């Protein structure tokens, strides 16, 4: 675990710490940008649209993630609104997804491009970027899972927060009452689970991208796959947002995302099958 890579002493700015999370986030955006630009070119769309979509995803994603975060933990926000808004944490996936979709859609419409076509181009890029971004979470010890005694367990003594018995209890994780609060425990490295699954999803989308589907179909496949991935991962996560009994808020949203994805796929398939019949008639 390497949360901080090095520190630069810059004029005027002063010391600037380069974190592993920041580096991996930058790599995630750059890799996604490269894939998106390649796909736009393959679909005969202006490759320069990729830069506008990246900007929309960056701004919309960060704003959406922060809004989701401050609303989810509204009690902390009420106690320290500025601290919550400007904290380095709080990059919540589903908030970022909603904000990013809105930001990208606005940029695409502004350029006069077709949103379903742009959505298909961005689907593989999203899967790859997410896989790389989760490595950053692993390196700083964030978004980890519940305690485990299995061989996959990893302890995060310098995590955000550390995987002490006290912190895991605060997240509602099952911890033996006899274990001291200060003891650091091994947990499921759910960040790496997500990286592995997302890479598989990326390879699947990369193979399916040349399928003669109706525009929007591939994005629907990604939505369904991303929702299923998160639905499964939340079972292993150490979370304090289980407002729906044993289920987390993210799992409830995952069900909605899966439903939207499956609906898009089915509608695109029906439209594609209806097109030859209409032509024949």
212: exposed, middle or buried (C-beta count within 10 Å: 0-12, 13-18, 19+)?
exposed
For residue 267, count CB atoms less than 10 angstroms from its CB and return exposed for 0-12, middle for 13-18, buried for 19 or more: middle
pLDDT digit string, tens, across residues 240-259:
666 666 778 888 889 999 99
Within 8 A by CB and 6+ apart from 132, the residues are 24, 27, 28, 31, 195
For position 96, what pLDDT does the model report?
Answer: 80
pTM for this structure? 0.84
How far apart are alpha carbons 105 and 113 in whole angstroms? 10
Residue 279 has pLDDT above 50, yes or no: no
- What's the confidence (pLDDT) of residue 244? 64
Distance CA 177, CA 162 (A): 18
Q: What is the pLDDT of residues 16-50, one digit of tens each?
A: 777 788 889 899 989 999 999 999 999 999 999 99
CA 244, 246, 250 angle in degrees (round to 5)?
A: 60
pLDDT of residue 281: 43
Position 57 scores a pLDDT of 86
Domain ranges of the chain: 19-145+188-213
Q: Is residue 9 a contact partner of residue 15, using CB atoms and an 8 Å limit?
A: yes
């Amino acid at each position: 675990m390497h949360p901080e890579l090095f520190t630069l002493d810059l004029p005027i700015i002063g010391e600037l710490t380069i974190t592993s999370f920041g580096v991996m986030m930058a790599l995630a955006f750059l890799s996604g940008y490269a894939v998106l630009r390649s796909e736009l070119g393959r679909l005969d769309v202006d490759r320069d649209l990729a830069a506008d979509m990246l900007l929309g995803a960056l701004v919309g994603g960060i704003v959406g993630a922060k809004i989701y975060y401050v609303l989810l933990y509204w009690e902390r926000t009420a106690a320290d609104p500025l601290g919550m808004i400007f904290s380095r944490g709080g990059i919540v996936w589903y908030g970022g997804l909603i904000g990013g979709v809105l930001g990208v859609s606005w940029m695409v419409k502004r350029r006069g491009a077709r949103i379903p076509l742009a959505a298909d181009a961005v689907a593989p890029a999203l899967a790859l970027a997410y896989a790389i971004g989760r490595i950053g979470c692993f390196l700083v010890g964030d978004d980890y899972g519940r305690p485990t005694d299995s061989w996959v367990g990893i302890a995060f003594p310098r995590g955000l927060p550390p995987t002490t018995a006290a912190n895991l209890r605060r997240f509602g994780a099952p911890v033996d009452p006899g274990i001291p609060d200060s003891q650091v425990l091994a947990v499921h490295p759910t960040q790496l689970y997500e990286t592995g699954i997302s890479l598989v999803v990326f390879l699947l989308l990369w193979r399916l991208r040349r399928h003669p589907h109706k525009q929007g179909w591939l994005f629907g496949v990604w939505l369904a796959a991303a929702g299923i991935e998160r639905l499964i991962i939340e079972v292993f996560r150490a979370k304090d947002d289980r407002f729906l009994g044993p289920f987390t808020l993210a799992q409830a949203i995952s069900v909605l995302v899966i439903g939207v994805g499956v609906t898009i796929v089915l509608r695109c398939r029906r439209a594609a099958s209806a097109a030859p019949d209409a032509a024949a008639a």
